[in-house]
Amino acid sequence: MEAFVLRSARQLAADAQRRILREGDTAVDCTLGNGHDTCYLASLVGETGRVIGFDLQPDAVARTEERLREAGLLERCELRCAGHERIAEFVTRPVRCIVFNLGWLPGGDKSVTTLWPTTRRAVTDALSLLAPMGLLTLCAYPGHAAGEEELRGLRELLASLRPQDFNVLHQRFLNAGPGAPECFLVQRQA
């Protein structure tokens, strides 16, 4: 039996993604970063599935492409050098899982971060793209000014969703200290 270890907001999001994605599904990674989430999603959707990924920074797209190539998963993915607020331009059918890992590119320029105005648009569009019982995972990092604004905005936006349409869970480690990452899980109802 696999041991359950409560570690991080990203671990909670990944566990939920693993539980919902199956062979042949389509997933979207709205923030490519260094490609870890994209590789994970590509492994979950299998050979017949598809992952569509977005990042505004060419370096993030290149890092992700290299990671996918090394893992033998590149053919399952479509990478876009575009901000996540453009998701509705490139994703036109309902998808099973959409992932956001907000903040800055790990190892990159920390002055370049996701920002609430574009994140709000991306999340709103993502909600409309979820298939019935589809899942949206968001990891927010309030340890900097833009991250704090995103967290406040996410709480307000997601709390306003009708419970008849979406179930929304907000997970936070109470003893992790200020600025610790927080996880939101949003599932569209049937």
Supply the DSSP symbol for 115. -
Asked if 79 contacts 51 with a C-beta cutoff of 8 angstroms, the reply is no
pLDDT tens readout for residues 16-74: 999 999 999 999 999 999 999 999 999 999 999 999 999 999 999 999 999 999 999 99
Residue type, 118: T
Nearest one of 187, 176, 179 to 135, comparing CA atoms: 187
Its domain, for residue 163, covers 9-188
Q: How many domains does the chain have?
A: 1
What is the average per-residue pLDDT within 148-164? 97
Q: DSSP alpha helices (H): ranges in the chain?
A: 9-20, 36-45, 58-71, 87-90, 116-129, 145-159
CATH number of the CATH domain containing 59: 3.40.50.150
In a domain, 68, yes or no: yes
Predicted local distance difference test score (pLDDT) of residue 190: 76
In a domain, 1, yes or no: no
In a domain, 55, yes or no: yes
In a domain, 27, yes or no: yes
Residue the block writes with tokens 């709480």: 155
Question: Alpha-carbon distance 97 to 155, whole Å?
Answer: 20
Residue 146 has pLDDT above 90, yes or no: yes
In a domain, 4, yes or no: no
